[in-house]
Amino acid sequence: MAKQKAKFKLELDKNGVKGCQKVGEISLDWTPIEVFVREASGGQFEGANPPNPKGRMEIGLGDDRNGVFGTLMHECFEFMAIRLRVLYSVPIGSIHSDPTRRLFVMDHGLYTECMEAACFGAHAIWPAIADAWAQRNSRAGETP
């Protein structure tokens, strides 16, 4: 008997706004990461911090399929770069932390390590995200 795909349905949060749906988990550098999808574009992640031993990654489904995959790769790579401590904030001494101004400095060996781990994680979760994207766009009348 074939395994049925999970139905994609975003739950409403307490304010009646569409929230996130968990699509699975990946492991990046031995850190378990819960992966969620959401209606909006873009993505974000939170690292694992006590008391929660798992990180959380959100991937928006609001872009085309290639854009969603790009967001997934971006978040996985960024997680690994921070994990390997190659993140430097710019400008130094700024009183706010703007994530768009992050600077990553690494040699080719660390780049390879970040990329391999990011690809491994993205490859593991992509089928679930792609299914959610296709279901979302089928409901909207778009061609997946």
**Any residues with CB less than 8 A from the CB of 117 and at least 6 apart, and which?**
28, 29, 76, 80
**Helix, strand, or coil here: 87?**
strand
Neighbours of 28 (CB within 10 A): 25
pLDDT of residue 2: 43
pLDDT string in tens for the chain (144-residue length): 444 455 556 655 544 456 789 999 999 988 899 999 998 899 998 887 777 789 999 999 999 999 999 999 999 999 998 888 887 666 666 666 666 777 788 999 999 999 999 999 999 999 999 999 999 888 655 555
DSSP SS3 for 102:
strand
- Going from the C-alpha of 107 to that of each of 82, 114, 119, 135, the distances in angstroms are 14, 11, 18, 40
pTM of the full structure: 0.81
